[in-house]
Chains A and B, each alone.
Chain A
């Protein structure tokens, strides 16, 4: 009887320590699309390093741009799994951190988060992206710099505004590489939100039209106004 009791206790202790442990082969999944890519897919490998089978209940993505699937629903201890991820690039540019959340039936690992880093090369940089003035304040001209950072030269071929109450022009600093756009509101009496449409001769359709924004807006109440010089 003592032996049975001891075995039962050991079984209980063992059962309480069993858990699933889904682990990626790499720390983070990195995706590096080309400038012209619209989507990028990748496979990733993971293991159940735990001591208990685990069942995948659902897969959620923190971004609608990223979807993922796994090759099966239940992974035995020590079993290798393969997942597929699909990222829609659309207008994403630069470095983005996204994640996929896997819900499992194991309370010890009820959610497994798979981290992704996506680096979309930037071949046109607009700085600043938004020019800003305050209603009733100084309406001096401001400058946006457009830099073609890709390997191929790219030229601005046209520039238009969505608003009439601004004066704008562009100047070529380095042909095919660097441009300056100067914008000046005709007045700052009223709120105005607008955009400049920058047309380029890029061979990649999504870079043929870029937008930069400008605003004449109400200064937020909380922000202190600068002292007026006597």
Chain B
């Protein structure tokens, strides 16, 4: 009985050692715990923008027309990479009188469209960079906060 227990213990130790070795040595070993990606300089969280501006911002939706048609943040305007110039033309009057911070969102954390739209918008209209930001987590982050 004692021998069997010793062997079982030995097996557990060896398995633990193998697991630890794989974790330390494997180049693509996953993290042991979930970590939140740090906020980029051009990003803002929904919580932060709610605190800073009480949600009184100009929302721009950088997703496709179809996604926008299904659901979007109330009063958000569509401005995506695909039809950028034409859509910008349609909202020049709004931008001309706008004094609110501009927040751009797309389909999620992996999505880069809002960042590209921000770059293009800043190249066309000299808005202060800190008043034109990307919503961290995109539309799903806004949905989750509702």
Residues on A facing B (Cβ under 8 Å): 1, 5, 8-9, 12-13, 16-17, 19, 60, 62-65, 88, 90-92, 98, 101, 107-110, 129-130, 132, 162, 191-195, 210-211, 213, 215, 217, 219-222
Residue of A nearest to B80 (CB): A64
Once A16-B22, A130-B123, A162-B89 are accepted as A-B contacts, the answer to whether A64 and B95 lie under 8 Å apart by CB is no
Would you give the shortest CB distance from A160 to chain B, in whole angstroms? 12
When distances are taken between beta carbons in the complex, the residues of chain A under 8 Å from B81 are 63-65, 90-92
Report the count of interface residues on B (CB-CB < 8 A): 44
**Chain B residues numbered 21-78 whose CB sits less than 8 Å from any CB in chain A:** 21-22, 26, 28-30, 63-64, 67
B89, A64: Cβ atoms closer than 8 Å: no
A8, B11: Cβ atoms closer than 8 Å: yes
When distances are taken between beta carbons in the complex, the residues of chain B under 8 Å from A63 are 81, 111-113, 116
Q: Binding site of A, secondary structure by majority: helix, strand, loop or mixed?
A: mixed
Residues on B facing A (Cβ under 8 Å): 3, 7, 10-11, 14-15, 18-19, 21-22, 26, 28-30, 63-64, 67, 80-86, 88-89, 92, 95-97, 106-108, 110-113, 116, 123-126, 128-129
A64, B63: Cβ atoms closer than 8 Å: yes
A192–B67 Cα distance when bound, in Å, is 31
Would you give the shortest CB distance from A201 to chain B, in whole angstroms? 20
